[in-house]
Amino acid sequence: MLTLAEKVKQGLKTWALVNSPWVIHFNSGSCNGCDIEILATLTPRYDMERFGVKLQGSPRHSDILICTGPVTLQARDRLLRVYEQMPEPKFVVAVGSCAISGGVFQGCYGVVGNISEVLPVDAFIPGCPPRPEAIIHGVVALLGSLKSKTEAAIKEQA
């Protein structure tokens, strides 16, 4: 059972995470098509920052890992290292058909598989490449489900 102070602390942490998630982007083997669309979401035209989302360079400061492409043999260990350096709670978003299933790179000799074969994925955004609106929708939906899950967990422990 949580004390009132613990409930307030947990609520504040969720509020901060949901309103100001910092993201890091990792290309583990994509053709760059999905990456261009992710960059577009951060431009003034699509403006993902209006949801508090900020692109980060360091995994140590990031809450969400946005992955594109299949996972190549060369990128696998680096992807794992980036994920391990992120603080808890951390989330993974797979952007594009290749990240979800391997896409056109499925079965290639240098490809290990899709993102969920290497990391636990919290949200999948389909498309080849997905439009910036779809990427923003996926990230915002993830934040919404995070909020309701945490609120439910706090109620359960109360």
**Can you give the binding site for ligand SF4, defined by CB under 6 A?**
30-31, 33-34, 68-69, 96-98, 103-104, 128-129
**CB nearest ligand SF4: which residue?**
33
Which C-beta is closer to ligand SF4: that of 84 or that of 117? 117
Tokens 């403006």 found at: 47
Minimum CB–partner distance for residue 96 and ligand SF4 (Å): 3
Minimum CB–partner distance for residue 31 and ligand SF4 (Å): 3
Alpha carbons 72 and 102: distance in angstroms, whole number: 10
Which C-beta is closer to ligand SF4: that of 72 or that of 150? 72
Alpha carbons 139 and 158: distance in angstroms, whole number: 29
Which C-beta is closer to ligand SF4: that of 91 or that of 124? 124
Strand 91-95 relative to strand 123-125, pairing: parallel
Strand partners, 91: 64
Minimum CB–partner distance for residue 95 and ligand SF4 (Å): 7
Which C-beta is closer to ligand SF4: that of 101 or that of 150? 101
Minimum CB–partner distance for residue 150 and ligand SF4 (Å): 31
Tokens of 39: 């960059």
Which C-beta is closer to ligand SF4: that of 19 or that of 43? 43
Give 71: exposed, middle or buried? Use CB within 10 Å, 0-12, 13-18, 19+: buried
Minimum CB–partner distance for residue 79 and ligand SF4 (Å): 15
Question: Containing H/E element for 92?
Answer: strand 91-95
**Under 8 Å between Cβ of 18 and 151:** no
